[in-house]
Structures are given as C-alpha cells and as structure tokens.
Structure 1
Amino acid sequence: MFKKIGPGVLVAAAFVGPGTIAMCTLAGARFGYALIWALVVSILATIVLQGMAGRIGVVTQSGLVDVMRQELKVPWIRKTVITVVLAAILIGNAAYEAGNIGGATLGLEQLVDQEWTKPYLPILIGFFIFLLLWFSSYKVLERIFVGLVGIMGASFVVCAIITKPSVAEIVKGMFVPRLPEGSLFTVIALVGTTVVPYNLFLHTSLVKEKWKSVNGIKEVKWDTIVSIALGGIVSLAILVTASAAPIADVNQVLDMAKGLEPLFGKMAVYFMSVGLLAAGVTSAITAPLAAAYVASSCFGWSGGMQDKRFKLTWTFVLFCGVISLSFDIKPIEVIQFAQVANGLLLPIMAMLLLWVVNKRSVMGQYQNTMLQNAFGLAIVLFSIFLGMKSILKVVGVF
C-alpha cells in the first residue's frame, strides 16, 4: 500500500499547512460547526481538480505549464498567461513561505520553551528545510512526507477526540449549509486555503516523477482521493477542536491550544504544537518546490530537481520566507489575506485546467467525461459566486 502512495501525500501536506490550521481555527472559534459544509465542499473540489491535474501529468509526462505553452498558439496570449502564472506562483509562494516557517516556529517555540532560542528558530527551521531539499530525491521526500503527515494527522485528531464533540452537530454542519453573519470571508478563505492553485502545478509535475507511463493512471486516481480525504479529516479535526475551545479571540493558532489547556492539561498544547510544527515544515517544503517546478517549466530547464537553476529558485523562495519573519506582522493577518486572494484566483486556474484536460490533442482517450466536466464547472461557478459576493460586500452593495 505504501509503495502506491505518491504525490497525493505531498499535495495534502501542502494544503494542510499553517494557513489551513489558522482558517479552520478561526472558523471553529467564531462560528462553531456552522461552516463544516464549506470545508467539505472544499475537499471535494480539491479531489476533483487535483485528480484532473494528476491525470494530465501521467498522460502527458509534462508539467501543466509545459502543456499550456504548447497548446496556446497565439504568441501574445501564451506569453501573458505564462508570465502571470510565473509571477503569481513565485511571488505568492514567497509570501506563503513566511507563514509556513512562522507556523513551524510557533509550534517549535512551545516544545523548546527557551526564550533565548526564539530569534534563531526560523533560521534553524529554514536551514533544516534547505538541507532536505538540497540533498533529497523525490523518493526520499515522499517518505519524509508520509511520516510528517502521519504525525500531524495523529496530533490534531487526538486533540479533536479529547474535546468530546457532538457528532450530531458535526453531521448537521456537513449537510445543512449556513452562512452566519460575518462568515463570508471565512468561507472564501476556507476554500482558498484548501483548493490551492499552486498545488495544481505541483501535482502535475510530481506525478511524472512517480509514474512513467499512462499505466499508472488508476493509481494516480486513488492516491489523490485517499491522500486528500485524509487531509480533509485533519482539517475537520482542527475546526472541531476550535469549536470546543473556550477562546474569544484568535491572534495565533496556539491560542486554541492555550484555550484547551485548562480543560485538558498541558498535553493539549504539546499535541497542537507538534501538529503545527509538522504542518509548517511540510508546507515550507512544498511551496518552494512548486515554485521551482513552475519556473523550470516556464524556462524549459531539463535537469529536474538536481538542476542548479531549479535549486536556486526554491532557495530564493525559502530565503524570502525566513527574511520576512523579521518584520513585525501578525502571521494570521497575512494568512487570512493570502487565502482570500487565493480563493479569488481559483476560478481562473480552474478554467485553465478544464480547458487543458478537455483537449483531445493533449489527453486522447483520457480527456474529461461529461460528469467530470459537470463537477469542474460547478466548482468554477461556486468559486466565481463566492468571489463576486466578496467583491460586492467590500464595495458595500451586498
């Protein structure tokens, strides 16, 4: 079974990072179980879109940017799309990296608990990630991620279980959509932090590292479904835990753990800290990796993960993340803004993905079925609906 686990684990680890933890914490603390439906919709949308991205990778044995570059025949359109994608992924992932390393730092601070070490922890984590990326192959990273995701999942699920949540209320939150006052931006952010556009590019590139022919298409499908569903269970556990935590305001993720401490003891803080550290490290690895894969496709580099230019790209993103932490900005505010922006960018990326996966010249017999297109179109319409509502709310019309 473990031999068949592949890029899906990395995708799950990428979206269950400090951003997801922060948004699920905010959703649970402020609105209880009311927004579980939004999380469920986000997970289903992720499975559908990542399934398409994985299929493109295994059928074409190319990255998503490579395929778009080949299929966009009008030069100015091709250059515009590639430039926008490259800029969005490089700049966006450099910004996310600060939140990823910041989340890992918050978790490690609680475990080390030595005041003099705090200024050095981001550098220590950054250096650890640098060594992993520099010396590891894809297969080594895959095994590391399986271990880290297992630790992260166990930590957060234990936290949820010890709060003794109401199963009836959880089921109601899943199947009865509600939009409490002031929850719109939280819903958009939940979608944005789960259905992450850069993961589409990452997944397409990683699939061809694992499976070298179209014979692996069935394994790609189940790897995606199982891995992302497990990631969804972790996200749900975080939201459920936050719903039970007696906290009035959330300025950082560990406020939830501190809220649980009077009820469940110091172990609640330790479990949350370990989970946050694992989530931060996994996302801090995938964000630079995704940026490097996109840059490699845009510029046609052929050396894979060992190409010096590939390594220079992820080093730049990682360096930006470590340096950004020197500014006095609340990480949760940056994370919130980034996830809302992600949610607004999603419809564009989803439409590009649907266009590619429906081209017979690219996919042959593996192009989308009518049912897959229906799901994909529903995701695009839903994300456009949320985006329009948020814009109208900002300008005061809605």
Structure 2
Amino acid sequence: MSNETPKLPLDGVRVLDLSRVLAGPMCAMALADLGAEVIKVEHPGRGDDTRDWGLRIGKTETAYFNSANRNKESICLDLGTADGQAIARDLAARSDIVIQNFKFGGAEKFGVGYEQLREANPKLIYCSISGYDRTGPEAARPGYDLVIQGEAGLTALNGERGQAPLKFGVAAVDMFTGMYATQAILAALFDRQRGGPGRHIEMALFDCGLMITAYYGLEALLLNEDPPKYGNAHPSIIPYGIFDAEDGPMVVAVGNNAQFDRFCRGVIDRPDLADDERFKTNLGRGKNRDALVPEIHAELKRRKRKDLLERLSAAGIPCGEVLGLLEALKSERAIEGGLVTEQPHPLAGSAHVLAPPYRFDGQRPPVRLPPPQLGQHTEAVLKQVLGLSPERLSELRAKGVL
C-alpha cells in the first residue's frame, strides 16, 4: 500500500464558513476533512464565540473551538463595515459553498444573504442554519442546543425511570444538525456536478432534534404517550445495557434468542433462565423484564470483568468494558487507529486534535491544518484568492476591517 495520501473527494472545492459556535462549524469541518478548502470568517476582535469557551490552548484557541475547526483557515473580517461586506461577497463569488448561521435576517443585513450572493454566483450552494423553520412564526427565535433538546422531547427520553429531564452529555442537536447539513450540501454538490442549479439549503435545529428521537418518537406516537425511560438499558432488547461486574462496569448486548440461550448456559451458568418459558423470546423477556433483569445483575456482580468478557466473546455475544473518557482516548484502539493526533502549536508547543473518522482506500485523511489562531490566514487568503495588494491590506487593517 502506498504511503502517499490519496487525493480527497472534495479537493478543489472552496467553502466560505460564515458560521460560529457548533452546528455550522461542524458542517464546515466535515467538508474540510473531505478535502475542501475552508475559509473561516471571524470578527477581528473576538472571533468565534467558542474561542472563549472551556479550557484555553495558547492565546486564541480552546478545546471547544478546536473540536470543530480543524483543517480550516481563519481570516478576520468586520462584516459591519462596507469594505468587509464587499470582501465577503468577493470571496463568496469565488466559492462553491457558503455556510451561515446568523440570527434571522443577519446575513441580509451584512450583505451576504442568498439572494444577494447568487447574482454573482448562480451555481452557489448556500446553507442557512437556524433554530427554527425560517418560514414559520418562530423564524426569529435564536436556537440553542439545550433549549431544542427540551422542546424536541430529547431530555424526556434520557435517564432512569422516574428521573427528571436530562440532557445529552454533548450538544447532540448541534452536532447532528451539522452532519445533516453536510449531507444536504454534498447532495446539492453532486447534483450541480450533473448540471443542476445552485441551491439554498435551510436547516433548523428543532427539525434535526426531532429526527434524533428516532424509534422513541415513533413509539410515543403509537402509544399516544411518552415511552418509559430505561436509562442504560434498551427499551426492547433484553439483556442489553451496562452491568456491574465484581470489579467494574461493562456492556452486555444480547441481541437475539440464540445469544440469550448461550449467555445463560455458557456465561452465567443459569440454564434454568434459558429454559424458563417467560424468557425464551425477546418479547417474553420484555414483558417479564422486572423478573429477569435482577437475576442477571446478581450473576454478573459475582464475577470478574475479565472472565466475563472472555466468556461473552467465546459465546459470540457483543460486550466491552465501560471506560472513562480519558481511558478511551488513550486506549490502544484509539492510538493504533490514529484517532488522536498531536499538532504543533506556536504558543502551547502542541495541542491534541482528533482526526477525521473515516478512511479512503485504507487511509485516514490527515489533519492538514491544525485549528487556526484567530486571523492566522487573513493576509495569505486575501492575497491568494482576491489578489489584494500589500498596500490595500495595510489600508484595510488601519481602518479596522481586518
């Protein structure tokens, strides 16, 4: 196998990333990972809001910012000025894709709305990300992940039975919205390659949040009420969840009746459970969950995790340790897979950056550019893409545009 990095699918595609925080930047980063040139536009003074969130790295980056901004170039541009708006429009005219998540009407206020840009670039693929339907009565409401998690019913399905509403540990709605937006952009790009038109893609956090409810949402409609909460257990497959061995937690995922029979006889030495008519089918196990699950918990609690994992694996039953976050990131699996990289940093010395999660022709795409310092590429991008002279750049900088 060649050690050369294969040409990435979006090589030659330019993205103008006017977004900030998470959903838009995650979308732009996914396109960057696939080979696109991504120019991230930030305010000269403060930059992306997430440059001030969480743990600091260097002077202008944080762990939060770095999680959504690898493989990008950062330029500073004050879109509140006429010169800044003109530069943004010139960049959009030379781009394939524009991503923005300004408050409703903000893009038009800054002269970078879809209708304002398509005149100069009819083939432009333009993605607007908002909190709610841009054609509905809530169009002007700002969108925040936690608010959407509450309104979309997501906090109602998390946690244990009787527990108060609980959010996801990460900003799941923002992240899913970013990935759904990437899908839509790639579909539009593919269609454009076949001679199709430019497109205005509109994404709403609430729409994507509702999609995440998946089978829980459909069950709620069937029941005409909220389904029960099951915490770390599965609503319809038993035993399937997190269990405590004598020396630590582990995942056991018994996916079918044959696996359950092997689990009872070969793992926990309880053939009586396998022979019990109440438990022979998954539907039966679901109906008699309260009688079966305590028995399983008790049997697993009496055994060492290593022994259980060996027995489960020998029986062909999916299983695994439950690791801490740091343990997972430092695991042999993550290191051998090249999922955690260390990138040079001019102030911090180095910074950890996660790698793209996919492979092409057996190779993972590299982190071509570490998350950028604020405005790190302003002059280089404006010289190369727009051909601005050093004198013009100095003039713009003196006026506070850059």
TM-score by length of 1: 0.22
Which structure has more relative contact order (CA 8 Å, sep 6+)? It is: 1
The structure with the greater share of residues assigned to helix is 1
